[in-house]
Structure 1
Amino acid sequence: MKVVAIGGGTGLSVLLRGLKKYDLDISALVAVTDEGGSSGRLRFELEIPPPGDVRNNIIALANDEDLMSQIFAYRFVDNGSLHQHTVGNIIIAALTKMKGSFNEAVKLTCRILAIKGKVIPICDDLIRLVAKYDDGSQVVGETNITRKKGRIISIQLDKPAKASEEALIELSNADLIVLGPGSLYTSVITNLLVEGVKETIALNKRAVKIYVANIMTQPGETHGYTVEDHVAEVERYLEKPLDFVIVNNGQPPAEVLESYLKEGAEPVKVLSKRENYIFADLVQVIHEPNDPRPKIRHNSEALANIIVEIAKRCSCGKQ
């Protein structure tokens, strides 16, 4: 079964870490509108698409124990010109300049790490997100969007951009198309705004379309959103109904949840149990290097298992 996963850096990489353990043909289509941290600095200083999200997903599909994977993930934390840059970001940036193509740089990086599957930037263009809010204001740039407090009514790109031919081929051949997990607008929907993506998905009649709902709301992006709100927005930009929605019904530990609540994030609520919702306890708490606050993430193995079960069901249906 060919699984094409669409998203950004953190949430999508969690899914890929689980999927790579199964006998699946995996392709990850990754957003290129990130503007924060190391990626943002390289984007604006070198005028290249941001490498951080593709780097995260390449590492997710590589051998965790491999020395090269550990090198690519290494982040400089000392003060200086390399502060907060990762080795992988710098290498992808160097390859982009050498080859004159971000897509080619990503392909070479995938070869260097001998990953299972493919990681493909959704396009090769330098694009930004533009969000319009219910108060009539407009904000440009992912970082600015996540900082603003308000309800987004629409989101678009700052200029037209065409999806890479390779990305469209993967979508055309997909048996399952998985959207998320990840930030609703800045990691998931941003990909649907690129010309050719939603059109190709619509033409692939056999592909099962799955959305992985977020566990927590995101301040500045989805404050107060329910699962139904998330699904409605995905379907609005996809212009197609989803076949399945994977929903967490687990409860994060109280002490971890408290730190999220202080920042304005809360568990995503479910208003109704619809026929196409698949519920499971997907909560996992992780501790990232150089970050004192525990993070709530999807459980990679549990999430991948659900995807595989859907794949098996669809495969049996075809037979």
Structure 2
Amino acid sequence: MNLYKDKKVVAIGGGHGLGRILAALKHFGSNATGIVTTTDNGGSTGRIRHCQGGIAWGDTRNCINQLITDPSISSMMFEYRFKGSGELDGHNLGNLMLTALDNLSVRPLDAINLIRTMLKVDVNIIPMSEHPSDLTALATNGKWVTGETSVDEMEDDLLRLDLEPKVAATFEGVEAIAAADAIILGPGSFLTSIMPPLLLPKIGQAIFDNQKAKVIFIENLSPEYGPAGRMSLKQKLEWCERACKNRKIDVVIGPKEHSDLKDNWICVTRDLASPNRDWRHDRDKLRLAIEEQLNS
């Protein structure tokens, strides 16, 4: 069996974590799909959303950046970040390109596919939704906060997450989950990267419905801060399962043993750290860990 041709893998998340996973899956080509969080409201992305509206492009841009294998003028343009004292300071040209293409296209997914073609990226990248929405959180003090940056800065613990407004999941993302042999959650910021796509009912339902797929949770290598940092791994796994209609996570892969979890989850201990940056996942180690699960 040729693993890369016979197996389909879907990874769900955002930011740098999903980009590392997709880079590890690049040998799967179009059999690999990333479903990307689109609720970011900080940095260049937040400024564009404030002025132009639309979905957040920063996480999608980051994933594409990590999948570029042939450096070119086009890729240099896509990764370019403006510096200076004017309005362009801090903006990433890739975000602006995606915004412009979105305005010219029928759908945001069309804009992504145009960029993928231009930069020769085979892995599918699909926004969790093609409609703008923000992450909201209910704190233990009874107050709601809105926006990823505000959720990350919460001093109180949170009781629940939601999306405002309610939006539909992208059809192609739901279809990719239905056909997947493995569904990967993480690594990444738990509340602001991993959870937002799972809050879309059709994504959670699709994960539940695909009982043949192996659902894999990959731990972070460095601690989180804010409310996510105050959550235990057990709580995070329970939150994921609850969002997926109580679909069981089949395996948890991380750098250390979790004896307190072994009664409820299969935990696999693997060294996934990059040799020169122990807080970042190594692409080849991730690839081998995922292939091990697909072969088991």
Please give the TM-score of this superposition, normalised by the length of structure 2: 0.90
- Report if aligned partners of 1:228, 1:270 keep a CA contact under 8 Å in 2: no
- Report if aligned partners of 2:258, 2:267 keep a CA contact under 8 Å in 1: no
Matched, 1:306 2:289: yes
The one-letter code sitting in structure 1 at the alignment partner of 2:74 is M
Give the structure 2 partner of residue 272 of structure 1: 260
3-state DSSP of counterpart to 2:208: helix
- Report if aligned partners of 1:58, 1:110 keep a CA contact under 8 Å in 2: yes
- Report if aligned partners of 1:283, 1:296 keep a CA contact under 8 Å in 2: yes
Give the structure 1 partner of residue 272 of structure 2: 282
3-state DSSP of counterpart to 1:79: coil
3-state DSSP of counterpart to 1:301: helix
The one-letter code sitting in structure 1 at the alignment partner of 2:141 is D
Identify which of 150, 157, 164 aligns with 1:158: 164
Q: Give aligned pairs, total.
A: 287
Quick check: 295-304 or 134-143, which moved more? 295-304
Matches within 5 A, 1:63-102: 63=69, 65-102=71-108
Matches within 5 A, 1:42-57: 42-57=48-63
Structure 1: which 5+ residue stretches go unaligned? 250-268, 287-293, 314-319
Seen in structure 2, the aligned counterparts of structure 1 residues 24 and 91 have a Cα distance that, compared at 3 Å, is: closer
Give the structure 2 partner of residue 136 of structure 1: 142
CA drift at 1:15 = 1.2
Mapped to 2, the partners of 1:129 and 1:186 lie a distance apart of: 8
CA drift at 1:67 = 3.9
- Report if aligned partners of 2:254, 2:270 keep a CA contact under 8 Å in 1: yes
Mapped to 1, the partners of 2:141 and 2:176 lie a distance apart of: 39
- Report if aligned partners of 1:227, 1:270 keep a CA contact under 8 Å in 2: no
Which whole-Å deviations, capped at 9, do the CAs of 1:161-218 have from their partners, x for residues lacking one?
Answer: 1111111111111111101111111111100111310111111121111111222332
Matches within 5 A, 1:166-245: 166-238=172-244, 239-245=246-252
Seen in structure 2, the aligned counterparts of structure 1 residues 133 and 192 have a Cα distance that, compared at 3 Å, is: same
Seen in structure 2, the aligned counterparts of structure 1 residues 66 and 272 have a Cα distance that, compared at 3 Å, is: farther
- Report if aligned partners of 2:14, 2:59 keep a CA contact under 8 Å in 1: yes
- Report if aligned partners of 2:38, 2:129 keep a CA contact under 8 Å in 1: yes
RMSD: 2.0
Which whole-Å deviations, capped at 9, do the CAs of 1:287-315 have from their partners, x for residues lacking one?
Answer: xxxxxxx78222222112100111122xx
**What percent identity do the matched residue pairs reach?**
30
Mapped to 1, the partners of 2:275 and 2:226 lie a distance apart of: 22
- Report if aligned partners of 2:274, 2:281 keep a CA contact under 8 Å in 1: yes
CA drift at 1:79 = 2.2
Structure 2: which 5+ residue stretches go unaligned? 1-6
The one-letter code sitting in structure 2 at the alignment partner of 1:300 is R
3-state DSSP of counterpart to 2:274: strand
CA drift at 1:136 = 1.7
Matches within 5 A, 1:253-264: none
- Report if aligned partners of 1:13, 1:57 keep a CA contact under 8 Å in 2: yes
3-state DSSP of counterpart to 1:11: helix
Matches within 5 A, 1:9-20: 9-20=15-26
- Report if aligned partners of 1:76, 1:86 keep a CA contact under 8 Å in 2: yes
The one-letter code sitting in structure 1 at the alignment partner of 2:272 is L
Mapped to 2, the partners of 1:86 and 1:56 lie a distance apart of: 10
Mapped to 1, the partners of 2:72 and 2:139 lie a distance apart of: 45
Mapped to 1, the partners of 2:26 and 2:235 lie a distance apart of: 30
Mapped to 1, the partners of 2:176 and 2:281 lie a distance apart of: 25
CA drift at 1:272 = 2.4
Identify which of 114, 127, 130 aligns with 1:124: 130
CA drift at 1:89 = 0.7
